[in-house]
């Protein structure tokens, strides 16, 4: 079973509290999405493979640790996932960015991909799918399925806030995928919003309410 890592860190908790406040401005909200994105990336990259490089410090020679250079792609789920991209890129500047867009079928309520643009060698890359909210898990599960169809083997999901329902659904559909979340909230309400949550993340990032 994949790992579920809930960030247990004062900075993440503090920043999330500001984001949850409905009076927080679009500007501050957007900056905080990016900052928490950076902090969760720190945790989600903890198992990146390392090698050593022979260097000379001003004092002596040494074999110093360096990233083994495994290829990495960050995949925002449109549109709210876009808010997390720059935080990831500040930590992993050489990462590629693939985009996936999803629409909801009005009758079945199932999410379907309408747009998917990935780097050519995506199957060889470690994938980090990003979306601020893991609510029912429907879009995330569909996005993971699309990446698997393209041959991706190492897939992680990063969210700011997760609902227990979404985590359970993903663990059933994609038990191999690790989930990284800034917080685990209480439940989903009848409209599919996370409680206490922070409202519609896309609207709050882009100021479209």
**Using CB under 6 A as the criterion, which residues of the chain lie in contact with ligand URA when the complex forms?**
80, 133, 135, 192-194, 197, 200-202
- Binding site annotation covers 170? no
Picking from 96, 81, 74, 75, the residue whose alpha carbon sits closest to that of residue 34 is 81
- Is residue 104 flagged as an active site residue? yes
105 is catalytic: no
DSSP state of 163: -
β-pair partners for 157: 129, 179
Q: Which of 94, 80, 89, 93 is nearest to 33 (CA)?
A: 80
Two tokens, residue 117: 């643009």
Residues 6+ apart with CB under 8 A from 16: 32, 36, 160, 161, 182, 183, 198
Name the minimum Å distance from CB 204 to ligand URA. 8
**Shortest Cβ 146–ligand URA spacing (Å):** 19
Count Cα neighbours of 185 within 13 Å in the Cβ-side half-sphere: 25
200 flagged as catalytic: yes
Catalytic residue, chosen from 51, 66, 104, 176, is 104
207 is in an annotated binding site: no
Give 194's strand partners: 188
CB closer to ligand URA, 80 vs 122: 80
Is position 17 annotated as part of the catalytic site? no
Q: How far is the CB of 193 from ligand URA (least distance, A)?
A: 4
Residue 207 backbone dihedrals phi, psi, to 5 degrees: 70, 40
34 is in an annotated binding site: no
Question: Does the annotation place 19 within a ligand binding site?
Answer: no
CB of 74 to ligand URA, least distance (A): 19
Known binding residues for 5-phospho-alpha-D-ribose 1-diphosphate: 79, 104, 131-139, 200
Active-site positions? 104, 108, 200, 203
């Amino acid at each position: 079973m994949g790992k579920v890592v809930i960030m247990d860190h004062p900075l993440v908790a503090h920043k999330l509290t500001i984001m949850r406040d409905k009076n927080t401005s679009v500007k501050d909200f957007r900056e905080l999405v990016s900052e928490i994105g950076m902090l969760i990336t720190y945790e989600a990259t903890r198992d990146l493979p390392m090698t050593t490089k022979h260097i000379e410090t001003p004092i002596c020679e040494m074999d110093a640790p360096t990233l083994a250079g495994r290829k990495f792609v960050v995949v925002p789920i449109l549109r709210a996932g876009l808010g997390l991209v720059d935080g990831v890129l500040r930590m992993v500047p050489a990462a590629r960015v693939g985009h996936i867009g999803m629409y909801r079928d009005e009758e079945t309520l199932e999410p379907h991909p309408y747009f998917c643009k990935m780097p050519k060698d995506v199957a060889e890359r470690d994938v980090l799918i990003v979306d601020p909210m893991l609510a029912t898990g429907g879009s995330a599960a569909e996005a993971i399925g699309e990446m698997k169809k393209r041959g991706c083997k190492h897939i992680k999901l990063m969210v700011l806030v997760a609902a227990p329902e979404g985590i359970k659904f993903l663990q059933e559909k994609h038990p191999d995928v690790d989930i990284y979340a800034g917080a685990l909230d209480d439940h989903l309400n009848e409209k599919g919003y996370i409680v206490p949550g922070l409202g519609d993340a896309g609207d709050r990032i882009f100021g479209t309410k």
